[in-house]
Structure 1
Amino acid sequence: MAEPQASTASGRPNEPSGPNSQNRANKPNKKNDSSESRKLRQARADRIDPALLRIAGIILVGTVVVQLDTTIVAVAIDTLSRSFGVGISTIQWVSTGYMLALAMVIPLTGWSVERFGGKRMWMLSLALFLAGSALCGVAWSAGSMIVFRVLQGVGGGMLLPLMQTLLAQAAGPQRMGRLMATVAVPALVTPILGPVIGGVILDNLSWRWIFLINIPVCLVALLLAWRGLPDVRIPGRHPLDVRGFVLLSPALAAVVYGFSAAGSRGSFSDVEAIVPLVVGVVLLVLFIAHALVTTVEPIIDLRMFRSRAFAGSSGIMFIAGISLFGAMLLLPLYEQQVRGRSAVDAGLLLAPQGIGMMIAVIVVGRLADRGATRLLVLTGLVLSVLGTVAHTQVGTDTSEWLLGASLALRGVGLAAVMIPVMSAVYHGLRQDEIPRATSAVRIFQQIGGSLGTAVLAVVLAHGIAARGGSAQVDAAGLADAFGETFWWTLALTAVAVPCAFLLPGRLAAPAPTSSSASSGGSGGSVRPAPPEQATGMDEAGLLPGAARTAATPSPGLNKGRA
């Protein structure tokens, strides 16, 4: 009679001994090991390793100096106007020319990275920004300052989209969102620190140091990039829309110059104003005709306006650029010229708007993920309008607490507008159109900023001239002129309301490309990635990229990494 099998602690009988049982005992559990291996590989792939953080840190050194420069110069406009002995309608070109240059080099980023490589273009852009900063620091007239600021803008304009390109190449789409959220922090802090730093420099040193301070930072950034950035090349090249670039750049410059000349001459009927305006409009019409029929990828693909969401988002970002950058011209000038504030005080009094935006980003980003896009944007526009009302009533002794609270409310409103809009822009577009949409909206915002600065400078100049001119107007009359100009800012913000009704109530994923929908898989459709993953944007939408490679790693890059 056979003996019963001994039992294990679990109650199961022991396996019979012998060669076969030994093999079974030594044989690993493939299913469990495979699952654990996949989890381990996924954890390693998703983790932001120290090498990637080091690359992000190197890139951050270069981008911070550009982000700070824009806000630092905002508080220096009054000082530069007095130093060069020119009016606001002329000196505003220090900001306008810079922003125009920023807008026009954005579409070149993707093409230049494909042709020359990301590391080379990063270092070239830094070198141009450094050269522009050094030349601005030794500028001898308003004209030379404007020219050097354009050079500075050419370098600075490529740095921000290049940042996204280089990070996309290094991180890949899986880690891009978290990495962009990390490097986006300086973009939230610079609107607060920039005006204060500019004020400290202007009150204690020569105005030239607001530009010369960039030189050591750029040198450090160049050294770090030379030693630490990988030289990744992207396979494949796309042709540059040279004709579109040649038409659009002078068109925008001519239109903005026409507005500036009208402010200087006091009339739109003056030859110096009307000729550039007519030339600019003709060139714009030619560009539109070219963009609709060209066989190469245009600088701005106007065919995307078939999407209501893209059309509404583009209009809102254009107007937001006018409201945001135009106000950056008016606010410090009011504090310095009407209230007699120092540059430091003017910078500190601008901080509430940046604080409001920073606080709102956290809350609005989460709400935007849950939908209700149109409601969020409309709410943001209402808050922006309410935050501007107090500035339309400014006098010589208006409460700074009221103005500060209004600025904070305005910052919350601007964030509530721009964050959901940067997600809504992709609604209804194909997956392959997402990078071009990102580039286009960024361009519209910068163009709106440059045009808004010029228009508001004209309105302010007319207001001052109507009250006797800068030589005769008193503080009360000057305050009235500023209040009148702020009404324009309020009205331009309200114009965005109809655009908001073009936005979807809730967002949907973009449609796949025709080739993606018909390829791969076992007969199933390809599910498109959400806009955040496709573009590498953080939830604040603060760092939109440039054409093609600035927004996403190209298919060739992903193929090379596989």
Structure 2
Amino acid sequence: MANNQAIDVDKDYNPWPPLWALVLGFFMILVDSTIVSVATPVMKESLDTSYNAVLWVTSAYLLAYAVPLLITGRLGDRFGPKNLYLVGLTLFTLASLWCGLTESVGVLIVARIFQGLGASMMTPQTMAVITRTFPPSNRGRAMALWGATAGVATLVGPILGGVLVDTAGWEWIFFINVPIGIVAFYLCWKLVPHLETHSHSFDWIGVALSAVAMFCIVFGIQEGEKYSWGKMTGFISVPLLIAFGLIVLAVFLIWQSRIKTEPLVPLSIFRDRNFSLANVAISTVGFAITAMAFPFFLYAQQVRGLTATESALFLVPMAVLSATLAPWVGKMVDRIHPRSITAFGLAACSGSMFWLSRVMTPESEAWQILLPMALLGVANAFMWAPLGATATRNLPLSQAGAGAGIYNTTRQVGAVLGSAGIAALIQARLAANLPGIESSGVSGGQPGQQLPDVISDQFSTAMAESVLLPAVVLFIGLIAALAFERPDHVAPKSRAKAVLPGP
């Protein structure tokens, strides 16, 4: 398309410093998507609450993050990505301070909702700036930075969380955002330009429909095992709630196709085959990365008896390899067919989780855990940048925010469903492997305290079986990636030239 070759700024503009400023805040909000997982046992004990309630500390954040992304992408087009990013960063930073000061799980969940709202304002703006300032032929390298930030943040979160939990207390997984937020605000204010705005109308009915649908589906999935998939209150049952959410979702899509003014989700954008398929694939990636963390850290801390920091160190090879390989992969994305790169990454990610499930036993050596984690790091480098670049390659500038909002919504929807789905599966597998023992009682020990031998084997089996869920879900993303079309700017002959990146 001709209109997506130009950029909003003059030809001498260097877009890299502003992008680095934006990804600092992007890194911070994505770390918060996973940083709580390693602190789950400590927070449960400190706040004197149930395991399911602590899971909602993460799920509430992910839900509040995901639901508004469609509208915040459009708001960025309307009021400028820089302005909306700064508002979201301020809200996120203040909510982080609130999280650290809370003393009850209920207030913490509310504070996390405000954190999620702030994050939802920030995320689409980083991707929209890439789309509007980098031409398609060079967008792969920019997306490599964006992808490396997304991939490494979701992996570094548990490592950073483990260190903070063991050295300063769980509150500091939130307090640390305050100084980072202040620095990120200053850098954005100084470096990021004011890009051209585009007038849009806002589909508030669509916002309401999407919010109701998402809440019903996610709440139903997460609470299903707790209520034995039966009634919650009165005549409302978990299956009925999920079914209602799916119906509302269908109504939302019908509304988007028939609305007379500008829709919240311009369905025409899905005519781009690669954009549609990339959205499917990134949702499975969000699902898998989020879902894998919960059972793994419960296994590491309560079967192996590791502290939060020690268990998080298992992710070091994953984070290092992901960050190291991402720039190299980004150069490949600008030169060769995205199908082969992304399919390899998704297949490797699924394979690493299948492998991990086989070695999550009380007797496994540490090196046996580190090997599949290293493969997972390689997989992350080959997923994030290719998917992001493929999704945005043909977006017109006027829909940069909408496209970024849709893409990040599907990623976060995957993460939300991953959190909800793994919570239900963990409870189900604990009930199957440890009949007669409440899952909250089994998983309520302190980090570093091993479970009794009589239940250790069964508990690790339950966690290993749970890891198979994200491994299977990734196959959906793999199928989508295999159907990618070759981008126009990538010539068939360039495939042979792109085996190694250029200088």
Q: CA deviation at 1:449?
A: 0.7
User: Residue 459 of structure 2 aligns with which residue?
Assistant: 478
Find the aligned partners of 2:323 and 2:45 in 1 and give their Cα distance: 33
CA distance in 2, matches of 1:172, 1:427: 9
Tell me what 2:495 maps to. none
- The residue type equivalent to 2:311 in the other structure is A
Distance in structure 1 (CA, Å) of the matches to 2:470 and 2:362: 20
- 2:445 paired residue number: none
1:464 paired residue number: 430
Matched, 1:206 2:169: yes
Matches within 5 A, 1:21-420: 45-46=11-12, 48=14, 53=17, 59=22, 61-113=24-76, 116-164=79-127, 187=150, 189-191=152-154, 193-222=156-185, 228=190, 232=194, 234-267=196-229, 271-393=236-358, 394-420=360-386
In structure 2, what is the equivalent of residue 443 of structure 1? 409
| Alignment partners' CA distance in 2, 1:298 and 1:384 | 35
Quote how far apart the aligned CAs of 1:488 are: 1.4
Partners in 1 of 2:188 and 2:341 — Cα distance? 40
The letter for the 2-side match of 1:469 is E
Q: Quick check: 1:47–1:175 contact (8 Å CA) kept in 2?
A: no
Write the distance in 2 (CA, Å) between the matches of 1:145 and 1:374.
42
Distance in 2 of aligned mates of 1:183 and 1:495: 23
Give the distance between the partners of 2:22 and 2:393, measured in 1 at CA. Answer: 31
Compared with structure 1, are the counterparts of its residues 186 and 111 closer, same or farther at alpha carbon in structure 2 (3 Å cutoff)?
closer
What is the distance in 2 between the residues matched to 1:434 and 1:127? 23
Letter in 1 for 2:370: G
Paired residues of 1:89 and 1:458 also in contact (CA < 8 A): no
Offset, 1:432: 6.0
- Is the alpha carbon distance of 1:111 and 1:320 closer, same or farther for their aligned partners in structure 2, counting shifts above 3 Å? closer
1:464-491 per-residue CA deviation (whole Å, 9 max, x = no partner) reads 1221333367211110110111121221
In structure 1, how many angstroms separate the alpha carbons of the residues matched to 2:159 and 2:277? 35
Aligned residue for 1:491? Answer: 472
Between 1:93-102 and 1:494-503, the stretch displaced more is 494-503
Deviation per CA, 1:182-204: give whole Å up to 9, x if none: 67765565455433321121112
What runs of 5+ residues in structure 1 fail to find an aligned partner?
1-43, 511-539, 541-562
User: Relative to structure 1, is the Cα distance of residues 106 and 205 closer, same or farther in structure 2, using a 3 angstrom cutoff?
Assistant: same
Question: Are the structure 2 counterparts of residues 429 and 238 from structure 1 closer, same or farther at C-alpha, using a change threshold of 3 Å?
Answer: closer
CA shift at 1:421, angstroms?
2.9
Bigger RCO of structures 1 and 2 (CA < 8 A, at least 6 apart): 2
Distance 1:263 1:91, change over 3 A: farther
Describe the superposition over 1:353-400 as per-residue Cα deviations: whole angstroms up to 9, x where unpaired.
222322332343333333333333332232222211222222112222
The alpha-carbon deviation at position 344 of structure 1 amounts to: 0.7
Report the AA paired with residue 468 of structure 2. Answer: W
Aligned AA (1:280): G
Is 2:487 aligned against 1:507?
yes
Q: Do the aligned residues in 1 keep the contact of 2:144 with 2:385 (CA within 8 Å)? A: no
Deviation at 1:435, TM superposition (A): 5.2
- 1:176, distance to aligned residue in structure 2 (A): 7.9
Determine helix, strand or coil for the equivalent of 2:362: coil
Q: Distance in 2 between matches of 1:437 and 1:482?
A: 36
- Mapped contact 2:29–2:119 kept (Cα < 8 A): yes
**Aligned partners of 1:192 and 1:355 also within 8 Å:** no
Aligned to 2:383, what secondary structure does the other structure show? helix
Q: 1:64 to 1:231 in 2, by over 3 A?
A: same
Contact 1:89 1:454 in 2 (8 A): no
| Distance change >3 Å, CA 152–CA 396, structure 1 → 2 | same
Contact 1:292/1:303 (8 A) holds in 2 = no
Inter-CA distance 428–269: structure 2 relative to 1 (3 Å threshold) = farther
Matching residue's letter, 1:478: F
| Alpha-carbon separation, structure 1, partners of 2:167 and 2:394 | 53
Cα shift at 1:128: 1.0
The one-letter code sitting in structure 2 at the alignment partner of 1:131 is: L
Q: Provide the aligned length of Structure 1 versus Structure 2.
A: 463
Deviation track 1:437-484 (CA, whole Å, cap 9, x = no partner) reads 443222111100110110011000111122133336721111011011
Deviation at 1:136, TM superposition (A): 1.1
Quick one: which amino acid aligns to residue 397 of structure 1? E
Gaps of 5+ in 2: 1-9, 443-453, 491-500
Q: 1:381 to 1:232 in 2, by over 3 A?
A: closer
Q: 1:83 to 1:273 in 2, by over 3 A?
A: farther
Amino acid at match of 1:294: I
SS in 2 for 1:318: helix
